[in-house]
Structure 1
Amino acid sequence: MQDALRKALKAKFSEYGFKKRGNGWHRCQGDVHVVVNLEKSQLVDGWYINVGISLLSMFEDIWLSEVRSPIRFRVEEFDGLRAKARLLDADAGRSLGAEAWLSGVVNELVQPLVVALVAIKDHAGLKVFLKESVTDNIFLHRDVRAVLQIGS
């Protein structure tokens, strides 16, 4: 199932200009670098989709992994996707069947996330995304808060 999931995600991310790197995909647009990775859960039989966002003007290294990104969250923190994140549980794949499961993950979970991420074109767009599209349960580095003028 994991290989089929990676292949389906690669197709969707590639469609929106993301490049494959390691276990994830990345995209730079203006000063915004977005990294998305697929992580196998060590606790349950399933996966997590992690998102990292960096401002290129703040870092010398153009490539920051999701783990090193100053803005980090899991897909379930994206507005409206908490319940749908259960699709990443392998039990959902077994109960729905592989084809229906992959379709659900890609169309109901990844598609809305990717559309929102590619809409972030600059600092103002990132600020709107953080205010309107994710819960408060994300990691947001204090330096990014200062640059975007977001309260702590």
Structure 2
Amino acid sequence: EDEIDNQESETSNNDNDNKDETEHLKNQIQTLQNRILQIRNQRLHLQKQTTTLLTQTKSKHLHRLNNDRTNHTRALSSYKSTLSKLQTTQYQVEITKSWNVTNDCFHIWHRGPYGTINGLRLGGEVSPLHPAALGSVVAAA
């Protein structure tokens, strides 16, 4: 009987040990499942943060790129305008260099009481320049 009691006692102890071990393993499983759930939540949170940060960064870079392209277009337009003005001015300078001032002006003078341009009479009287001319106008009146 002692042997049977010992066997029963061992079986009872084994059952208790098995129950304790099973309970311990269940606790570990629950702890690990909770840890997995926490890690998944952290991963989702980090993914959301990363997505938000990437979206903001992308938006900033696209805005900066758009501004830089606009500035480039403006600078290029200004450059082309300035280049066109330079070419026009250089062309006008070349034309101006070919001018001959003595050929391009009129010889304005007077001959007697009449004014002349390039030797052609204008038809009206010129105001007297000399006192002698003034005396002849008074004598005629």
Q: Which band: TM-score by shorter chain?
A: under 0.3
**Higher share of residues assigned helix:** 2
**Higher share of residues assigned strand:** 1
Q: Which has the higher contact order (CA 8 A, sep 6+)?
A: 1
Larger Rg: 2
TM (norm. structure 1) is 0.17
TM (norm. structure 2) is 0.18
